[in-house]
Structure 1
Amino acid sequence: MPEFDLDAYLARIGYDGPRTVCGETLAALQLAHATHIPFENLDVLLGQRIALDSESLQAKLVTARRGGYCFEQNTLLLHALESLGFTVTRLLARVRYRSVTLRPRTHLLLRVELEGTVWLVDVGFGSEGLLQPLPLVEGQPQTHGDWHYRLLREGTTWVLQSISNTGWKDLYAFTDELSYGIDVEVASHYTSTHPDTIFKKVLTVQLPGLTQRTYLRNHELVTETATSTTTQPLTEPELLPLLTERFGLSLPEEVIHRLWITCG
């Protein structure tokens, strides 16, 4: 397996700070990754295979400066953290966001053990996801910029919540059972190929920030702050400059057209 190019990854996320194995480094890396590499499902909509090996992830998300969904994002971060010396394991979650139905375990997150504390680390949940590590402790709300999160317990299950205008809402639920690479491969294959998954139906590109979240949803651009949400309808000619200027994604015009009609 080719060696992970840590320098290239750190340059991609705009991080030039310390590389020591400590909480400050972990928090800074998560924030830098989450705010520099967009969450996007363009390859899924285009019918492209989603490869999760280290070389493919570096080629796509680092060298080509693309984004990806949770399996790509968090696997890339896992390789980076392991290269630095962090102790990391994979967990799989059931998404509850905007749904009351029971879903399969199709969200990848990371568990980091550090300095006597277990941390939830996740750069793959899109615009409403965490921006910094969250200690695996029940009922201790944390603020990441203007956004608020907490963990609750339901028996042996952890539930990650964020706050909205109507109160706390569930994002996803998971247990402490570790997952292996093959589990992640199976979950990713289902998520990227099954016709009923949302990633096969909705074009989305998302990028969070400490005070503002921006996301493309089919033919609309949504901008969200802690107190307001604005929605802007888009035309096809606006899509290419939007992807380039807002999200840093460069794609050929013919690909943009295929995406536009796919999500129409």
Structure 2
Amino acid sequence: MDHEKAHEGLTPAVRAAYLERIGVADPGAPTEANLARLQWAHLRAVPFENLSIHLGEPVVLDPAALVAKVVDRRRGGFCYELNGAFAELLRSLGYRVSLLAARVFDRERLGPPFDHLALRVDLAEPWLVDVGFGRFSHQPLRLDERGEQADPQGVFTIVPGGPYWELDVLMDGAPQYRLDPRPYPLADFGPTCWWQSTSPQSPFAKGATCTLPTEDGGRITLSGHRLIRTAPDGTRDERRLTDAEALAAYREHFGIVLDRLPAQPTVPAQPGEAVAAV
């Protein structure tokens, strides 16, 4: 099956609402420049967050549900949700998109298969597009390029990894994830997404995180009750918030309106994607 043609895509009304959500009035034709513009707009508007896990909400890997969460509910999500929804938008705009699976590096240890969902977008050449990894490239990366690729977030390289056909994606020399270049349907990510959403051993179970890049190249993050502002040079300013201040911070900084705070974790934080991404 041709995975990028496995469904009908967004209606014109939903596509327009999605573009309004990310602040893009005219997406233009499918080009490298317009793809880069769409990726940065999405990163700036739609936060990387795992709040559903701590609010007791199910994570539903259905294209319509993913788009509705981002567009209608004005929420973000983690990789399966963000890249899954962005794939729908890109396809509706005429881009050829495939879903790629990756295993996330936790120091030297690799996570399970389908640990992460990224996108391949084919134009004149293939591009790696990722709006669901938190602190990562701001621009698409050339998937076939083996040299250094400069990005506002750092220097990225994509090199052969593992014993087979996988590719390791590195940021400033540090491995981020091992990419399987074969396309997969969204349903294949379901079991690992369920584990990430429900297991006490999942890095996403360790605490609620919500984060966005700032226009100047920094980052703002709400991790539990800690509001963290990271400057472009890496310096951090951290402030602990009250419950009322945390609810206000979700609204002010991320456009997320909650009637209650996410539950506090019952297990201590460990290294992993939910932590490393901020």
Q: Do these two structures clear the TM 0.5 threshold for a shared fold by scoring above it?
A: yes
- Residue 253 of structure 2 aligns with which residue? 246
With over 3 angstroms needed to count, the CA separation of the structure-2 counterparts of 1:144 and 1:102, relative to structure 1, is closer
Shift of 1:195: 1.6
Task: Report the AA paired with residue 231 of structure 2.
Answer: T
Does structure 1 retain, via aligned residues, the 8 Å contact 2:167–2:180? yes
Q: 1:212 aligns with which of 192, 208, 218?
A: 218
Structure-1 separation of matches of 2:101 and 2:48: 18
Unaligned runs of 5+ in 2: 1-7, 269-278
Matched, 1:80 2:120: no
Unaligned runs of 5+ in 1: none
With over 3 angstroms needed to count, the CA separation of the structure-2 counterparts of 1:147 and 1:136, relative to structure 1, is same
Task: Map 1:15-26 onto structure 2 (within 5 A).
Answer: 15-26=24-35
Task: Report the AA paired with residue 68 of structure 1.
Answer: G
- Residue 109 of structure 2 aligns with which residue? 101
Does structure 2 retain, via aligned residues, the 8 Å contact 1:92–1:108? yes
Matched, 1:136 2:140: no
| 1:168-190: CA deviation from partner (whole Å, max 9, x where unpaired) | 21111112122112212222112
Structure-2 separation of matches of 1:186 and 1:251: 28
Q: 1:159 aligns with which of 168, 181, 192?
A: 168
Does structure 1 retain, via aligned residues, the 8 Å contact 2:120–2:127? yes
**Which ranges of 4 or more aligned residues in structure 1 deviate by more than 6 Å?**
261-264
Task: Map 1:88-237 onto structure 2 (within 5 A).
Answer: 88-96=97-105, 98-105=106-113, 106-115=115-124, 117-126=125-134, 128-154=135-161, 156-163=165-172, 168-209=173-214, 211-235=217-241, 236-237=243-244
| 1:2-54: CA deviation from partner (whole Å, max 9, x where unpaired) | 84411000000001134311111111111111110001011112222111223
Structure-2 separation of matches of 1:88 and 1:259: 36
- Residue 60 of structure 1 aligns with which residue? 69
Structure-2 separation of matches of 1:146 and 1:50: 29
With over 3 angstroms needed to count, the CA separation of the structure-2 counterparts of 1:55 and 1:180, relative to structure 1, is closer
Shift of 1:261: 6.8
Structure-2 separation of matches of 1:66 and 1:102: 29
Output the TM-score relative to the length of structure 1: 0.88
Output the TM-score relative to the length of structure 2: 0.84
Shift of 1:99: 2.7
Task: Report the AA paired with residue 100 of structure 1.
Answer: E
Does structure 1 retain, via aligned residues, the 8 Å contact 2:100–2:119? yes
Structure-2 separation of matches of 1:13 and 1:223: 22
Structure-1 separation of matches of 2:110 and 2:153: 30
Give the match's secondary structure for 1:95: strand
